[in-house]
């Protein structure tokens, strides 16, 4: 891809937890289920979002993941992306910070997220199109 086309490429980002990866909730514990060995959240890929990611990539968009996970949680994201063969070019973890500043810095055009707080912040502080999943 030449530099001009790359500069024109639109960027779409997806949240990970409860957007790409549907977490399982433990009602007894009042928290998400975790693998006892790794401590990672247990869940399943969201088929409709997986298809969206593939479609955006086919349509020429740069696809990235922006998660509020800590850097320690990044490995699970990388493993799932690799396992599913997702066309994700970059992964960013905000370490619990609001995503809006990262999305603006990266030049994101469109963002998918399940978190009402994140959606509200993005709508309030940017011109990024945000879709609540």
Residue 90: band (very low, low, confident or very high) from pLDDT cuts 50, 70, 90: very high
SS3 8: helix
What class has domain 3-132? alpha beta
pLDDT in tens, 7-64: 578 999 999 999 999 999 888 888 888 888 888 889 999 999 999 999 999 999 999 9
The CA distance from 126 to 133, in Å, is 19
Indicate the domain borders of the chain: 3-132
Residue tagged 């922006």 (tokens): 66
- Could you tell me if 26 and 42 are in contact, meaning their C-beta atoms sit under 8 angstroms apart? no
More confident residue, 71 or 60: 60
Give, in order, the Cα–Cα distances in Å from 129 to each of 13, 34, 107, 119, 122. 10, 32, 12, 10, 8
Q: Are 31 and 56 in contact (CB under 8 A)?
A: no
How high is the pLDDT of residue 66? 98
pLDDT at site 7: 53
């Amino acid at each position: 891809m030449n530099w001009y086309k790359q500069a024109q490429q639109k960027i779409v980002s997806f949240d990970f937890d409860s957007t790409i990866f549907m977490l399982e909730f433990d009602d007894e514990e009042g928290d998400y289920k975790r693998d006892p060995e790794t401590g990672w959240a247990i869940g399943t890929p969201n088929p409709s979002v997986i298809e969206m990611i593939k479609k955006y990539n086919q349509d020429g968009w740069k696809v990235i993941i922006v998660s509020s996970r800590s850097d320690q949680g990044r490995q699970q994201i990388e493993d799932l992306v690799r396992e599913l063969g997702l066309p994700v070019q970059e992964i960013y973890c905000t370490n619990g910070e609001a995503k809006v500043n990262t999305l603006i810095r990266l030049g994101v055009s469109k963002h998918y997220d399940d978190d009402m707080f994140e959606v509200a912040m993005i709508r309030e502080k940017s011109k990024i199109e945000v879709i609540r999943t």
